[in-house]
């Protein structure tokens, strides 16, 4: 039976999709999802009661700019350590930042603690998209995802996978990011009133497993017959992305200062890159230019080599300098950390690379 779902936000005729076809797309996709949903630790399977909003929220924050494969172990560790939002609200920011180390985009971890404390103070998560937007760190996407998946509210959920699927399904040729409004309107036109959370997750799964960035496995796609991108011949050409500007490169030096089996670690300022994280002391990586094969060190310092790391807006080449003599107490605030427990320090990836290089040189 075909259910007639009215189009919203944009007239169906403008999108080239009738109300009947719009409902057919959502029905076909949900039927596919019922049989092909990915088993993920933060999800409830189709037909089961919705998952705890804490698990939905935590996973969605972790999944921003990060792959499902990378998030899985972190999600399991977090939920074992802090099984509910009240437990996370009572955690120290330092412990949360250490547990987050390696996931990147560390402002997410700081907002995680702020949001958990706000939710605990409220007595639980609000259930509407508008109220969820009021929480620290919840943007339009995360609020919509929690409202739809955890609370069964009708919400339009658009992540990178959904963006790609919809751009192909409706043959939206305007380059990103300018096309995002049109993509959202198109997604709205096919989002059903019922099971919008399952629909959103079905779209995510379709983009992750079939309608991928590098391929469009149209013979396996449950909505291929309605896809305008396929009808026009080359769905993989969509979405069109604006050309990326080359990222600038910065250089700097990190310092390995060791004595009596302990290394000197500092805490980075609360605001700015890798804010609030433990790290090796460094020179601020403010230098720009072609970089050097080794850091400019002399005297009591020995160059161990260079590590490279990409941030969102620039690439960094960080030389590692090892103190060659008996280190005195460094100036400023910091702590001596046992070298044999360096993996427990929660160093962000950049400084974990630098520590590994220093240890390799030391050995």
Cβ atoms within 10 Å of 5's Cβ, excluding its own: 21
Can you name the residues that pair with 322 across neighbouring β-strands? 256, 302
**CA–CA gap between residue 259 and residue 329 (Å, rounded):** 9
Distances (CA, A) of 250 to 191, 219, 277, 291, 294: 44, 46, 20, 7, 14
**CA–CA gap between residue 129 and residue 132 (Å, rounded):** 5
Burial of 243 (0-12, 13-18, 19+ CB in 10 A): exposed
- Catalytic one among 60, 185, 258, 317? 60
**CA–CA gap between residue 224 and residue 206 (Å, rounded):** 11
**CA–CA gap between residue 253 and residue 330 (Å, rounded):** 16
DSSP 123: T
DSSP 42-92: T---TTSPPPPHHHHHHHHHHHTTS-HHHHHHHHHHHHHHS-SHHHHHHS-
3-class DSSP assignment, residue 26 = helix
Task: Based on the residue annotation, tell me whether 340 is a catalytic residue of this protein.
Answer: no
3-class DSSP assignment, residue 230 = helix
Which are the catalytic amino acids?
Answer: 60
């Amino acid at each position: 039976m075909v259910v007639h779902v009215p189009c919203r936000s944009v007239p169906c005729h403008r999108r080239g999709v009738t109300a009947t076809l719009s409902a057919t797309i959502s029905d076909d996709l949900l039927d596919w999802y019922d049989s092909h949903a990915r088993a993920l630790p933060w999800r409830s399977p189709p037909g089961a009661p919705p998952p705890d909003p804490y698990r939905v929220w935590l996973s969605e924050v972790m999944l921003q700019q990060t792959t499902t494969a990378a998030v899985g172990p972190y999600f399991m560790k977090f939920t074992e350590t802090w099984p509910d939002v009240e437990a996370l609200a009572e955690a120290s920011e330092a412990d949360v930042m250490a547990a987050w180390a390696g996931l990147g985009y560390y402002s997410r971890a700081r907002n995680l603690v702020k949001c958990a404390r706000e939710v605990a103070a409220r007595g639980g998560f609000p259930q509407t998209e508008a109220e969820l937007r009021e929480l620290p760190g919840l943007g339009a996407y995360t609020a919509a995802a929690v409202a739809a998946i955890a609370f069964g509210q009708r919400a339009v959920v658009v992540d990178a996978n959904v963006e790609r699927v919809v751009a192909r399904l409706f043959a939206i040729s305007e380059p990103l990011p300018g096309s995002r409004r049109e993509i959202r309107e198109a997604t709205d036109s096919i989002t059903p009133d019922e099971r919008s959370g399952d629909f959103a997750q079905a779209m995510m799964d379709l983009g992750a497993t079939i309608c991928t960035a590098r391929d469009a496995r149209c013979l396996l796609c449950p909505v291929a017959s309605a896809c305008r991108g396929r009808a026009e011949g080359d769905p993989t050409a969509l979405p069109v992305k604006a050309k990326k500007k080359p990222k600038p490169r910065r250089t700097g030096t990190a310092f390995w200062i060791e004595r009596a089996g302990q290394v000197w670690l500092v805490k980075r300022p609360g605001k700015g890159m890798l804010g609030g994280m433990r790290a090796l002391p460094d020179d601020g990586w403010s230098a720009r230019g072609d970089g050097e094969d080794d850091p400019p060190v002399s005297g009591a310092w020995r160059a161990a080599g260079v590590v490279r790391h990409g941030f969102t807006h620039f690439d960094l080449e960080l030389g590692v300098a090892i103190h060659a003599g008996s280190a005195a107490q460094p100036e400023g605030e910091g702590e001596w950390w046992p070298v044999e427990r360096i993996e427990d320090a929660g160093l962000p990836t950049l400084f974990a690379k630098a520590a590994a290089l220093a240890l390799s040189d030391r050995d």
